[in-house]
Amino acid sequence: MDLRFTAPWSPWIIIGITIAALLLAVFSYQRTSRPISRRIKTLLVLLRSLTILTLIFALLAPVLTLSTKTKEPPQLTVLIDTSESMSIEDEIIPDQEGPRSRAEAAGYIIEKLLKEAGDKYQVEILGFSSSLTTFDPAKGSPQGKETRLYHSLKEVSNRPGRDGPTGILLLSDGLETDKIDETRPPRGLPPIYAVGFGGTRSVKDINLAGVEADELAYLGRELPVKVKLATSDYPGEEALLILKEGKREVLRKVIQLKEGLEEYMIKITPGQEGRFQYTVSVSEKPGEITAGNNYANFSLRVVKSKIRVLYCEGEPGWEYAFLKRFFDRTKDIEATCLLRNKEGDYYCQDDKKKPAFPAKRSDLFAYDLIILGGLDAGYLTKDQQEAVVEFVSEHGGGLLFLAGIAGLQPGTELAPLLPIMPGEVRQREPTRISLTLEGRNHPITRLDPEPEINGQLWEELPYLEGITETRSVKPGAIVLANSRPGNQAFAAIQRYGQGRVMALTANSTWRWDIGPFIDKDIEAEFPAGADGLKDQKQPNEVYIRFYRQAIRWLSTKADLKPIDVFTDRDVYQEGEKVGIIAAVYDQDYRPIEGVTISGEISSQGQDTIRIGLTGGQGSRLGRYNSQVVPPAPGKYKVKITAEKQGQVLGEAETGFIVEEKGVEFLRLDQNRHLLSSLSNLTGGSYFGTEDRKKILTELSGLKGSTRVTTHQIELWDRWLTFFLFLVLIGTEWILRKKYGLI
């Protein structure tokens, strides 16, 4: 019980008014019109004082709060897995014949729990696969294409307007399809009592566990594809391994199954350029528990041939060592690396010969890209420089200038190819790199498809040294990145005739391949030079991506398309959202504003889906996106059109696959480790097949809550207060009347 006054007055004002009123009551009866006894006078003073106090009490707006406590039973949330893997029949239910599905066994446990627990718990039953749903085990069936256990647990604990449960009874096989950290469950979870399903008996199954193949293949060249099969209870039996491209069967191979995980090798020889979707499948065997995991999809991009690179370096150093290691580890690039020694001769580390710069133009034109590093005026003869100019301007080849200690100071024949006018070299002055507006969107500097993440990656790259000043940028050239501080051009590109040219004004990009922490004595870490780097250091993904994209862009002869479209993945599971991204730029990769993008998604046997892409503003200038959930499995084609002010800028196409099989059947055995870890980390318990009789015993440790209910009474507005005031003032009036004071 709690009494408080709600009138907005200061306590000192209330005390002052009360004292003044009481003194007035006493003073009013000091002298009376007729003499009365002291006893009557005291009674009248008391009545008047009580009347005044009652009035002040009412004016203070008193509120009386009454609290009542009631005990409530524990709130138990029953969370049942409704994904497809729960349909596997490998459970035994008492008094029922034959194996039953995991979902049926879970329903049996829930029915028994509700019957035996009675009203000991407030029970709420929810199903989950991709998200939470209300679920009736007697009517529902497991049809979910994925198991997002951690996501669903978060939803249970964070539902708006509802208190979290006292405990969670989780019934699942634990086959989580999200990437999670099993040691860090969602925060704020109550004790989880996990009941595991699956793995109770030996099952017959062929599980196509994965396919390994390079995403890039070359026209007419054999590509190995590794197929991983996990087989149970079919040792020595034969099966058909089938590879299809779309509906076209590419190969059929008889394999002999082995117990456990085994790898099988098949080979593809692409005969056409483009992007293709393949399906690998294994024929179903009699008695197999499920055929839902007997196939897998993968995509393959086929290009004409490897990129041929001629790398001529005028000075030995770490830039050359790291670039050479990059070429050695990159399968789609075939590089010839020439290094000039102290005597002025060329040296090739690959074959220990003394090769020369290609003397014939036909030999030079066999390359797709030329890289020139550590330049000085005498590096190439006049005839060789003219050949390089012709290679770029007429043949359409690519050229990459790398700054050296001498700076970017080529001879007069190569000078027009440079996109900048170089100045002095700032030796060993640390600098970091920031993207320009054009650089945020260009394929060379796109380290991540998300513009915000891409910009952050560039800001956090290790510092560089030896930046070359830029006196000016040539008309038509584009600066992709600048140094900071100093705001000097670091990466600049331009078109020259039929080809493309790029210049980097620092010769220390090798630092990006090491990371943010670099030993001062780099030679002590890698004493063997480029050869020692091969085994002593794993390459950095950022470094690889930057140079791979730069080389790919510079060596591409095809005209740039003003519009491009792609999806965030090539293969999706049924029911998943497909992210569609479009990029709209001019020929110099400057984003175009005010563009309207419309398109359609089509598949054989399905209605065409009309889509509109939005975005193109702020940090996503030039990039538009949309999301759609395809209605059924199949092969889909996306076609979009970009318009501005009624004028069509261009069209683009891409494709993707939606496969019926989810990742639910990649494993059939129970993920006991995940379920037991969740239970232990939250203070609950795990129940295997042999422990299910103990569920109610363990749940008895859950404590119910005490609910406090409050009720407020406004005393100043009650009839009793008004009645008391009337009694007091009326009694005083009657006494005054009786003794002749009125």
> Helix, strand or coil for residue 274?
strand
Q: Taking a C-beta distance cutoff of 8 angstroms, is the pair 290, 275 a contact?
A: no
The reply to whether 415 falls in a domain is yes
Whether 501 and 376 share a structural domain:
yes
The reply to whether 512 falls in a domain is yes
Whether 146 and 184 share a structural domain:
yes
Model confidence band, residue 317 (pLDDT cutoffs 50, 70, 90): confident
Whether 295 and 220 share a structural domain:
yes
Whether 142 and 48 share a structural domain:
no
**Closest by Cα among 169, 145, 175 to 670:** 175
pTM of structure: 0.50
Domain total of the chain: 5
Reply yes or no on whether the pLDDT at 650 is more than 60. Answer: yes
| CATH code for the domain of 143 | 3.40.50.410
Position 716 scores a pLDDT of 67
Among 283, 303, 323, give the residue marking a domain's end: 303
Question: What span, in angstroms and rounded, lies between the C-alpha atoms of 539 and 531?
Answer: 13
What is the DSSP code (8-state) at residue 335?
E
Question: What span, in angstroms and rounded, lies between the C-alpha atoms of 630 and 658?
Answer: 8
> Helix, strand or coil for residue 607?
coil
Which pairs count as long-range contacts for 297-300, CB under 8 Å and 24+ apart, including other chains?
A: 297/571, 297/657, 297/659, 298/211, 298/213, 298/571, 299/215, 299/275, 299/570, 299/571, 299/657, 300/213, 300/215, 300/216, 300/217, 300/223, 300/268, 300/270, 300/275, 300/276
Residue 382: CB atoms within 10 A of its CB come to: 10
Whether 617 and 725 share a structural domain:
no
| Helix H or strand E encompassing 326 | helix 318-329
Model confidence band, residue 350 (pLDDT cutoffs 50, 70, 90): low
Reply yes or no on whether the pLDDT at 377 is more than 80. Answer: no
Question: What span, in angstroms and rounded, lies between the C-alpha atoms of 422 and 469?
Answer: 6
Position 270 scores a pLDDT of 87
Whether 446 and 364 share a structural domain:
yes
Q: How many residues are listed for the chain in this entry?
A: 742
Whether 576 and 510 share a structural domain:
no
Q: Give tens-digit pLDDT for 417-469.
A: 888 887 776 655 788 899 988 888 788 998 887 778 888 889 888 888 878 88
Among 303, 330, 352, give the residue marking a domain's end: 303
CA 510 to chain centre: 29
Mean pLDDT of 272-287: 85
Residue-number span of the structural domain to which 313 is assigned: 307-554
Q: Please report, rounded to a whole number, the percentage of residues in the chain having pLDDT higher than 70.
A: 87
The reply to whether 211 falls in a domain is yes
Model confidence band, residue 348 (pLDDT cutoffs 50, 70, 90): low
Whether 263 and 325 share a structural domain:
no
| Helix H or strand E encompassing 453 | helix 451-459
The reply to whether 663 falls in a domain is no
Whether 368 and 513 share a structural domain:
yes
Model confidence band, residue 641 (pLDDT cutoffs 50, 70, 90): very high
Whether 395 and 527 share a structural domain:
yes
Question: Poorest-confidence range of 333-337, 441-445, 616-620, 681-685?
Answer: 616-620
Reply yes or no on whether the pLDDT at 358 is more than 70. Answer: yes
Position 521 scores a pLDDT of 37
Beta strands 489-496 and 499-504, pairing class: antiparallel
Q: Under the phi-then-psi rule, with left for phi > 0, alpha for psi from -120 to 50, and beta for the rest, what region is 265?
A: beta
Greatest CA separation found in the chain?
Answer: 142
Q: In what order do the strands lie in the sheet with 647-659?
A: 563-567, 578-584, 623-628, 609-615, 596-602, 634-644, 647-659, 571-573
Q: Give tens-digit pLDDT for 50-63.
A: 888 888 777 777 78
Residue 657: CB atoms within 10 A of its CB come to: 21
Question: What span, in angstroms and rounded, lies between the C-alpha atoms of 738 and 544?
Answer: 110
Question: What span, in angstroms and rounded, lies between the C-alpha atoms of 415 and 702?
Answer: 81
The reply to whether 401 falls in a domain is yes
Model confidence band, residue 92 (pLDDT cutoffs 50, 70, 90): confident
Model confidence band, residue 354 (pLDDT cutoffs 50, 70, 90): low
Q: Taking a C-beta distance cutoff of 8 angstroms, is the pair 397, 388 a contact?
A: no
Question: What span, in angstroms and rounded, lies between the C-alpha atoms of 155 and 619?
Answer: 31
Whether 25 and 87 share a structural domain:
no
The reply to whether 37 falls in a domain is yes
Among 528, 554, 580, give the residue marking a domain's end: 554
Average pLDDT, the chain: 81
Q: What tokens were used for 420?
A: 């900048």
Q: Give tens-digit pLDDT for 179-216.
A: 677 777 787 889 999 999 987 455 678 888 888 887 77
Whether 322 and 432 share a structural domain:
yes
Which is higher by pLDDT, 176 or 685? 685
Question: What span, in angstroms and rounded, lies between the C-alpha atoms of 508 and 464?
Answer: 5
Question: What span, in angstroms and rounded, lies between the C-alpha atoms of 105 and 688?
Answer: 12
The reply to whether 664 falls in a domain is no
Query: Which residues does 416 contact at the CB level (< 8 Å), separation at least 6?
Result: 389, 496
Reply yes or no on whether the pLDDT at 340 is more than 60. Answer: yes
